[in-house]
Amino acid sequence: MSDEVFHDPNVPQEDYLSGLRLARRDFLLKSGLAAAAIAAAPTWLQSEQAAAAIKASTSVGAVRDPIAANAVAAAKKHSGFSMGRVNEAGPQALDDKNFSGPLWEKLTGIKTNLTEAPFAQIRTKIITENLAKSGALDSVEVSPAWIPDFADQGVILPIDALVRKNKAQATVADLHPLYRALARYKGKTWGFFDDGDVWALYYRKDIFANAKLKAAYKTKFKRDLRVPRSWDEFNQVAQFITDQMAPKVYGTGMGRALGNPGNQFYFFQQFRANGGRFFNPQTMKAEIANAIGVKTMNQILLQNKASPPGVEKLDFVSGWGLWLQGKTAMIMAWPPTGRISENISQRDKAFSFLPKSQIVGKVGYARVPGQNGEHAGAFIKCVMATSENQDAAYLYNQWATSPSISLQRVMLPYTLRDPYRISHYRSPAYKKLWKGADQYLVTLAEAANDAVLDLSMSGAGDYANALDRAMTSMYAGKDVKEALDEAAREWDSITRKLGVAKQRASYANFLKYPGATSKNTIRKLGQAIKV
Amino acid sequence: MDRHIRWLLVTPAVLIVIALTIFPLGFSLWVSFVQYDFTLGPEHPWVGLDNFVENWKDPVWRASLWRTVWFSLSMVAIELVLGMLLALAMLRPFRGRRALMTLFVIPLFISPVVVGGFFDLFVRRPYGIANQLASWVWPGTVTIDFSNDSPWLYIVLIIADVWQWTPFMFIIILAGLAAIPDTLYEAADLDGAKPRQSFLFVTLPLVLPVVLIAVTFRLIDAAKLFDIIFSLTRGGPGTDTYTTSYYLYQQGFEFFHLGQGTAGAWMFMIMLTFVSYWLVRRLLKPLEEAA
């Protein structure tokens, strides 16, 4: 890297966006073309991955995956059934459309009737269908944070008896220990975990290796430039890079738009790394507006300061756009970031909404500063209690999440499913996807060892929304303490409404999960996985 | 026999009205007096006025009400003035009038969600071109965060609504203006009235009933402002652009606090009914006086 990385004061700050405008146009054009191409040419049958999945589901001997094969054998009696599914709109749904859905139909004769919805509206859709008792949905994607509400209100079925009946107990042993716990609630299993959504830090190796930048950093801070290990260091490094390189490159830049991806994730992550807890477990008074909360918010605001202009309204995918075009030096994000950085996903037309990566081979992986990355969102495959064919829905879930089939699914170029099984992290096939994939898998496993979980308790959606709103008001200039006090009052009001005693029990249950706080992560419980 | 056939013929229509209007209305009234909340369980105990009180105690609801009032009033006032000016400009034939009128009414045919999305793309940094356009007319580089900073985000919301609905005012007022007989203007002219006096003492009084109709429709519609908020700001930052409709949507269909959301909808409907009643009274007053 040459001198050109340094800031040219004659370039207006927003001129760096010319590339992004093209990306947007590119997105609009290509997404239309992609939809047509995908609908017209389902080439999944030719794919190596589909062949491997079929082999694992039907063969005998070493390649046979008994969990997948048992599910297929048992599901054949439901041939002709049309199974209602809901999945996240866009790339995630392509799994159902292009891979799992056609494959399952070929193997069992069960058709998939897919409904697509944006992440937050999946919850809405499931609740609506449950209230209406329509029976339209059979197998559904449920975020772990929704499990307590869905289980308590009888929306989803516990599957322990079905797991025993279909001899699928072994499927759990291969999960990363963090994910083994997430489908459990009140002593029962509510579905099959299916998406390792842990956040990690993705950084530009070339920028951190730049000699001039390193020298300038050392001169200014009297220590070496390195990948940040604490939040204060992250802010310092991000601001330093911005000061030196903007508008060509900014230190960081993550989508902060209201509800997209949901600012609570950022707060939850850093607040607990800073030692915070959400409630007083006895009184259930919210504790987000204390000194730790204020410190966390101020750190987040400093990240915005080191980011490109307008980041407060940038959605998550636009944040990816900046990253892929080399406009940001570090981002904290979901695992697909590693794949899209190497253009693995953009090989597929479905991903043409993202620009081609200009940073191939330049990306390094690390745990987020403070080490405790958020396990944000994710999915568990569950069976709707109102399903008219619960057995078929369960068997599909067992098959799709079995070790062999799930490995193929997390390797699909399209979709956003992320590795979550120990066998995924160790898979030789995955490691061959790109140079550095082995390090990527090691980082994901390590990140899961230290991960903290989304708040998963009754009313989780309400608490998250109140915090998300408060954070966007702070981005717009509201006083941090005042906005956090307001959010805390709103949390207290939600708690009162749902019942303090009920919420106390629900929070106590949440605290039992590994990763509920930074003090009881998988690593601190002595269950860390080495890959 | 004829009498029975008569009843038989209207029965399907009556059943449809009961099924699609009266039953949902009655059901929603019941929902607003019981606990109907996904997070609180499947039982629906009677809670009296609690759902109404919950809304009233919520500062977000109260702020959204006031915001709805001033949004509606300012939007409709601007639309009225612009609609009147446009109608006056388009009253007399001139070359290109038809083409211009067609252009003016196009926004009316666009879904408000699309209008919100369009303005979002227009103003959102870093993609939107709003700052670039502003930089052409303002000295220096303009870097306003139109979709996040107060008062700009309110201005953008109002402009989006005005852009879409001014044509509605324009069409109605133009129809009213066109209906005024030329003979009245000729008489005013003979009496020595100047153009300003003709407008104040001939045009305005005669077009006023039509203007009142347009204002009534627009006020009721603007009070329900939802789509543009949904696609442009999603109520943010914070709750700064929550309107009552957006608040109720979120309570009902995002959080599934259906009891509270439905009670809020009833409260809002009653308030709107009072406003509509007052406006309709004003509308009918000249007719009643004439009778």
pLDDT over 90 at B242, yes or no? yes
DSSP structure string for B140-207: S-----TTTSTTHHHHHHHHHHHHHHHHHHHHHHHHHHHTS-HHHHHHHHHTT--HHHHIIIIIHHHH
Is residue B11 domain-resident? no
Is residue B44 domain-resident? no
Instruction: CATH 3.40.190.10 in chain A: give the residue spans.
Output: 42-196+378-452
Taking CA–CA distances from B260, the nearest residue in chain A reads A497
Which letter, b or e, does each residue of B227-237 get, where b requires 16 or more Cβ atoms within 10 Å of its Cβ? Answer: bbbbbbbbbbb
- Give the nearest partner residue to B236 out of A20, A127, A258, using CB atoms: A258
For residue A334 the two structure tokens come to 């979901």
CB atoms within 10 A of CB B114: 13
**Interface test mutation site (partner A, options B57, B127, B250, max chain A beta carbons within 10 A):** B127
> Which residues of chain B have a CB within 8 Å of the CB of A14?
125-126, 131, 141, 143
Q: For residue B212, what is the domain's CATH number? A: 1.10.3720.10
Alpha-helix runs per DSSP H in chain B:
2-17, 23-31, 50-57, 59-90, 97-105, 112-123, 130-137, 152-178, 182-190, 195-198, 204-223, 227-232, 244-249, 258-290
- Mark yes or no for CB contact A124/B254 under 8 Å: yes
For residue A251 the two structure tokens come to 């230190």
CB atoms within 10 A of CB A485: 17
Average pLDDT over residues A107-122: 92
Q: Which amino acid does the sequence have at A65?
A: D
Is residue B57 domain-resident? yes
Taking CA–CA distances from A153, the nearest residue in chain B reads B41
Our CA dihedral for A19, A21, A23, A28, rounded to 10 degrees, sits at -170
pTM higher than the cut 0.80: yes
Pairing of strands A250-252, A363-366: unpaired
Q: State the complex-level ipTM.
A: 0.73
Average pLDDT over residues A268-291: 96
Q: Which residue has the tokens 């609009």?
A: A28
Q: For residue A372, give how far its alpha carbon lies from the nearest alpha carbon of chain B (Å).
A: 27
- Mark yes or no for CB contact A258/B234 under 8 Å: yes
| Per-residue confidence (pLDDT) for residue A507, from 0 to 100 | 96
* A303: confidence class by pLDDT, cuts 50, 70, 90: very high
> Which residues of chain A have a CB within 8 Å of the CB of B256?
124, 127, 131
Average pLDDT over residues A55-84: 91
Q: Which residues contact A382 (CB under 8 A, 6 or more apart)?
A: A139, A140, A141, A142, A150, A156, A157, A159, A190, A191, A397
How many structural domains does chain B have?
1
d(CA B61, CA B162): 25
Which residues span the domain enclosing B141? 50-290
The model's pLDDT over A193-220, given as tens digits with 9 standing for 90+, comes to: 999 999 999 999 999 999 999 999 999 9
For residue A476 the two structure tokens come to 């717009």
- Give the nearest partner residue to A153 out of B42, B148, B233, using CB atoms: B42
Average pLDDT over residues A442-454: 97
The three-point CA angle A335-A339-A343 to 5° equals 155
- Mark yes or no for CB contact B39/A462 under 8 Å: yes
> Which residues of chain B have a CB within 8 Å of the CB of A309?
125-126, 143, 145
How far is residue A299 CA from its own chain's centroid? 22
> Which residues of chain A have a CB within 8 Å of the CB of B35?
none
| Per-residue confidence (pLDDT) for residue A313, from 0 to 100 | 83
- Give the nearest partner residue to B127 out of A20, A259, A459, using CB atoms: A20
Please tell me which of A9-18, A255-264, B191-200 the model is most confident about, judged by mean pLDDT.
B191-200
**Contact of B68 with B244, CB cutoff 8 Å:** yes
- Give the nearest partner residue to A24 out of B127, B141, B237, using CB atoms: B127
Window 204-263 of B, Cβ < 8 Å to A: 233-240, 250, 253-256
Is residue B33 domain-resident? no
**Contact of B36 with B259, CB cutoff 8 Å:** yes
The architecture of the domain spanning A42-196+378-452 is 3-Layer(aba) Sandwich (3.40)
d(CA B258, CA B255): 8
Radius of gyration of chain A (CA): 23
Is residue B63 domain-resident? yes
The model's pLDDT over A497-517, given as tens digits with 9 standing for 90+, comes to: 899 999 999 999 999 999 999
- Mark yes or no for CB contact B255/A462 under 8 Å: yes
Per the prediction, chain A carries an average pLDDT of 89
* A198: β partners: A375
Pairing of strands A200-204, A363-366: antiparallel
- Mark yes or no for CB contact A313/B234 under 8 Å: no
